[in-house]
Amino acid sequence: MDIFEGRITSCGFSSGDRLVIGSWKKSPFGIFADIMWAKSDGTKVLIAPNKEIGNYISSMYNFDIIKIEEIKLEETQNMIKLETEDINCYFEWNKGIPFIIKKRPLWFVASIEYFFGWLMFRTKTHGKTKNGKKEWYVVDRLSKLTLAKAFIGDKNLGEFTDFYPKANFGFSDPPKMPSSVLVRSHIK
């Protein structure tokens, strides 16, 4: 089983673009970050730090364009800043709500948490990737974004907004609410 531990930060912008930032502290590939970008015209772009990670992610999720670019990352407990050839973005979030029980069985994540995740956030905590693998999202803390800025080249994407419409990268989209989530992704 592949396990990724880190943070997923996501929101939309008044330009119509939507960003999902994965910042992974532990993974089969070590520490890395990736960007899933849904353009305002619906084009889905993956920006990955190398071809191996790009191939792995694109085998499970849907993209129209895959770019391999250096991703410069700065991160603290309540802030993340990324810079690539195409994108510069900065996010801050509040302390958030922790999930008290850290060790939860995957059947619980696939049933009880799935129900509440869908009911409250319209997200799925369990499903199948496009290559048929099973994936579980074990959420440890959910925080609301308090600030988000992003530029594509010189273009300011504008005010941050809800993650809408859905990007359909895979079986689940991030919460509609602009958020940063401490998460463990289990893939089998």
Q: Which residue has better confidence, 188 or 114?
A: 188
Distance of CA 16 to the CA centre of its chain: 17
Average pLDDT over residues 178-186: 97
Please give the C-alpha separations between residue 28 and each of 1, 25, 129, 160, 185, in angstroms, as whole numbers.
Answer: 10, 10, 18, 32, 12
Backbone angles phi, psi at 112, to 5 degrees: -65, -50
Compute the average pLDDT of residues 149-169. 96
- Res 85 pLDDT > 80: yes
DSSP reduced 3-state for 173: coil
For 15, the token pair is 């330009």
Q: Which two tokens stand for residue 160?
A: 């941050």
| Domain regions of the chain by residue span | 2-187
Strands 44-48 and 65-68: parallel
pLDDT(122) > 90: no
How high does pLDDT run on average in the chain?
95
pTM: 0.94
Q: Distance from CA of residue 8 to its chain's centroid?
A: 4
Q: Which residue has the higher pLDDT, 66 or 98?
A: 66
